[in-house]
Structure formats: C-alpha cells, structure tokens
C-alpha cells in the first residue's frame, strides 16, 4: 500500500453506481439488458473499500421505473440516495414523494437515452430544484458541451458523468467547473479520455469541490470494469490535499448528506 492509499478516508462516498434488480422492469437499450446486480451484490463488492454511502443512479435500461430505486434505497439504508430519470410531465407530487424516499437528483441520459430529452433539460431541471432542491446529472459527451454550456450555466447545480467521456478539447468542461459544475471520476473503462489523471488534477485545481468519485458498478458495457485500484488512481491524481474531498466530503455535500 503506497502513501496515498494509506491516507484514503475511512468513509468513502460512492457517487455513482447502478443496481440492476430483475424483479423490476428492464428496458432493452440497443438490444442490451444487463445482468442482475442487486443491492446485496453491491454491498458485498464494496465492503472491502470502506464505502459508507453513495448514490444509486438510474440507467438507460430502467427508463422511468421508480420501483427498483425505492427498493434499493430501502435496502441500502441511511447514507444512500437516489438519482432518477423522469418524464418532463411528471407531477409535482411524485417529485415530493421521491424526495421523501431519498432521491436527490434527476438524470438526463443524453448519451444512451431512457430519460427526458435535450429540449426538456432547462424546464425540468429548474422544476425539480424548486420543488425539492434536486440537482441535475448529465450523461453526455464533452464534445457536446459547447452547445449546452449556456443552458447549464443558468441551472442551479449540474454534474457530468464519467469525466465527460472524451477529451475536453474546447475547454468547456473546465470552464463550467469554474462556474460550479461537478464532474464524476467514474467509469474509467468506458471513457475515451486520453489522460484521465491530468483532467482530474485540472478539475480540482479549477474548483476543489468540482470532482467526486464513483465506482460505476457493475460497469455495464464498460470495456474494463471497476477495480479497487481505481481508488488509488483517483487519489494519486488529485493528491493528498484533495483526496478526502474527492473520495468523501464532496459527494456528501453534493447530495446534501450530513
């Protein structure tokens, strides 16, 4: 164990993982349906990592189903929150009910679909924040951020998954980070970022609160699945001054947890 590993925080916050419960509806996405990965499977896999909380994120294959998410949050218990996908016409009462159950954000899956669309981001993002204080999460490629930048700058709080999936060639991602965007360091095996370590270091330099860690378990469709050494990879990239924030406190602050 190297020096950085020895300094990993005791309470790691996993800001991005999925639960796949076959008891609930699964929608094929480009013909793909993931294997089961239950809340029990997740707890077993992260037990050695010191994970004490996290965010269950709805995937394209779950579309607008809330049943699996509510069951997962009940099973996982305190310290865990949900990130859901909603249609643009969702009733206000449903947002309140989901908030009461522990949901804290809405996801717009622009990369694979299954969520509300691009044209609905501004209105729905503002509505869930006004009703329940939720932020918005985008699964989006960095190359598409310049067209979204003006909209995103006007929203209360936004995150981007998987380091933006590809190289931030326009500098838009880092510019948004300076304006409060939070980026998820998760899914190294699915992204096409040429130097993830350099990008993580640049993000925390631009905004120390702008990076959070996630396992991306069970790594559906990723070329390389999550491995425990990814924790060290993030810690080494951001340095000892930022490791506790990125692996723990930034995530809890983002999801408004104690």
Can you give the pLDDT at residue 32?
85
Burial 66-94 (b: 16+ CB within 10 A, else e): bebbbbbbebbeebbbbbbbbeeebeeee
Can you give the pLDDT at residue 192?
97
> Are the C-beta atoms of 76 and 56 separated by less than 8 Å?
yes
Residue pLDDT, tens place only, 77-110: 999 999 999 999 999 999 999 999 999 999 998 8
With CA atoms as reference, report the closest residue to 78 among 99, 46, 100, 52. Answer: 52
Compute φ and ψ for 172, nearest 5 degrees.
Answer: -65, -40
> Are the C-beta atoms of 47 and 246 separated by less than 8 Å?
no
Can you give the pLDDT at residue 29?
79
- Please state the domain count of the chain: 1
Cα-based torsion angle of the residue sequence 186, 191, 193, 196 in order, rounded to the nearest 10 degrees: 20
> Are the C-beta atoms of 166 and 141 separated by less than 8 Å?
yes
Q: CA–CA separation, 132 vs 134, rounded Å?
A: 5
Residues of the chain with pLDDT under 50: 1-4, 6, 113-115
Cis peptide before 218 (omega within 30 of 0): yes
Can you give the pLDDT at residue 110?
83
Can you give the pLDDT at residue 128?
97
Q: CA–CA separation, 156 vs 36, rounded Å?
A: 35
Q: CA–CA separation, 174 vs 151, rounded Å?
A: 16
Can you give the pLDDT at residue 7?
65
Q: CA–CA separation, 208 vs 180, rounded Å?
A: 10
**The CATH number of the domain where 193 resides is what?**
3.20.20.140
> Are the C-beta atoms of 220 and 29 separated by less than 8 Å?
no
Give the structural domain span for 135.
Answer: 3-254
What is the Cβ-side half-sphere exposure of residue 15, based on CA atoms within 13 angstroms? 32
Can you give the pLDDT at residue 118?
64
Can you give the pLDDT at residue 114?
47
3-state DSSP assignment of residue 106 = strand
Q: CA–CA separation, 53 vs 50, rounded Å?
A: 9
Can you give the pLDDT at residue 5?
54
């Amino acid at each position: 164990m190297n020096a950085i590993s020895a300094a990993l925080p005791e309470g790691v916050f996993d800001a991005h993982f999925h639960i796949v419960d076959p008891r609930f509806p699964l929608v094929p996405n480009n013909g793909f349906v993931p294997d089961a990965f239950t809340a029990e499977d997740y707890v077993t896999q992260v037990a050695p990592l010191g994970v004490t909380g996290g965010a269950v994120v709805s995937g394209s294959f779950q579309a607008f189903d809330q049943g699996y998410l509510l069951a997962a949050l009940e099973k996982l218990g305190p310290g865990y929150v949900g990130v859901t996908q909603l249609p643009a016409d969702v009733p206000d009462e449903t947002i309140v009910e989901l908030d009461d159950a522990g949901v804290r954000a809405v996801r717009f899956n622009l990369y694979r679909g299954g969520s509300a669309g691009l044209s609905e981001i501004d209105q729905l993002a503002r509505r869930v924040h006004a009703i329940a204080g939720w932020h918005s999460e985008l699964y989006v490629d960095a190359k598409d951020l310049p067209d979204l930048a003006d909209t995103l700058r006007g929203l209360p709080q936004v995150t981007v998954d998987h380091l933006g999936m590809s190289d931030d060639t326009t500098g838009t991602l880092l510019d948004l980070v300076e304006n409060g965007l939070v980026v998820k360091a998760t899914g190294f095996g699915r992204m096409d970022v040429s130097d993830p370590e350099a990008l993580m270091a640049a993000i925390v330099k631009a905004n120390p609160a702008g990076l959070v860690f996630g396992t991306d378990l069970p790594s559906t469709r990723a070329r390389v699945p999550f491995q425990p050494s990814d924790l060290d990879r993030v810690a080494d990239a951001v340095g000892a001054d930022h490791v506790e924030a990125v692996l723990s406190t930034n995530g809890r602050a983002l999801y408004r947890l104690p």
